[in-house]
Structure 1
Amino acid sequence: MKALRVLVGTAGVALMAVGASLLTDVRDPTDVLVWLGGAALLHDLVLAPVVLLVGLVLVRGGSRGPVRGALLVAGALTAVALPVLLRPGRTANPSVLPLDYPRNWLISLVAVATVTALWAAARGFARRRRRPGR
């Protein structure tokens, strides 16, 4: 598990470096700071409390962790997709948003739900195998 965390952390730092390198094209850095502040507030004031509350109310037992993780990922995907999901209709320039973003967002949510179900099932199976006499 430690190797996986190091790998994911390294990938995250590399992606942050790529994002930072793209900031050279930004005309007004205050817009970026406002956007980052808004994202932090959205996460801390809306997303995290909702995830914790839903996980507490809906899920009991050992699968609470995977479900909370899935809710967090689904909430982050939704927060990132909101500008495109709320954009009305087609744009005048078809190259601006060329993909079917609502469909792709739903596919991403289904993938998160599938991975979570498999993860919870594997954890439950591992727990049953560890208990002697059952």
Structure 2
Amino acid sequence: MFLIGIGAWHLAAQPDPYDALVWLAGALVLHDGVLAPLVLAVGLLVAAVPGRRVVRGALIVCGVLVLVTLPLLLRPGAPPNPSALPLPYARNLLVVLALVTAAAVALAVLPRLWRRARRTRSHCQAPRRD
């Protein structure tokens, strides 16, 4: 509550708080109208997926990666320092997201394949007669 009061005080001290209020309203609409329902819908879909723990973990990692990289991708204009963004962040983000997805698929699928192979191997062996 204290920090909200400090924020309101700083907002009231601005000569033109209209831009900040528009940004806050947009953030509220974006969060409550788009992001929260999207996260809930994805959570409901993931609940029925086998290996949902791995899928949830991969979605969390991908979400954090996108949130960290998004300001760099959406920044308008050229960076003030040309060395600030020397790499193609969009391509690198897609590569890292593909790697996270591949790791999640491997973690979800490989243990099942190993169990199935072990089960079929134990069923195929003939019993020993000494």
The interval holding the TM-score normalised by the smaller chain is 0.5 to 0.7
Which structure 1 residue ranges, 4+ long, deviate > 6 Å from structure 2?
none
Mark the structure with the bigger radius of gyration: 2
Letter in 1 for 2:109: A
The residue number in structure 2 matching 1:106 is 94
Q: Does 1:119 align with 2:95?
A: no
User: Residues of 1 paired with 2:50 and 2:58: CA distance?
Assistant: 14
User: Residues of 2 paired with 1:116 and 1:79: CA distance?
Assistant: 19
User: Residues of 1 paired with 2:75 and 2:94: CA distance?
Assistant: 16
Q: Does 1:71 align with 2:71?
A: no
Match of 1:62 among 50, 69, 87: 50
- Alpha-carbon shift at residue 113 of structure 1 (Å): 0.6
- Alpha-carbon shift at residue 96 of structure 1 (Å): 1.7
User: Residues of 1 paired with 2:77 and 2:71: CA distance?
Assistant: 12
Name stretches of at least 5 consecutive residues in structure 1 with no aligned partner.
1-41
Question: By percentage of residues, which structure has more helix?
Answer: 1
- Alpha-carbon shift at residue 92 of structure 1 (Å): 4.4
Query: How many pairs were matched up?
Result: 88
More displaced stretch, 108-117 vs 52-61: 52-61
Match of 1:85 among 73, 97, 104: 73
- Alpha-carbon shift at residue 87 of structure 1 (Å): 1.2
The residue number in structure 2 matching 1:96 is 84
CA contact (8 A) 1:74 1:109 kept: yes
User: Residues of 2 paired with 1:92 and 1:129: CA distance?
Assistant: 57
TM-score, normalised by the number of residues in structure 2: 0.54
TM-score, normalised by the number of residues in structure 1: 0.52
- In angstroms, what is the RMSD of aligned CA positions? 3.0
- Alpha-carbon shift at residue 56 of structure 1 (Å): 3.1
CA contact (8 A) 1:66 1:120 kept: yes
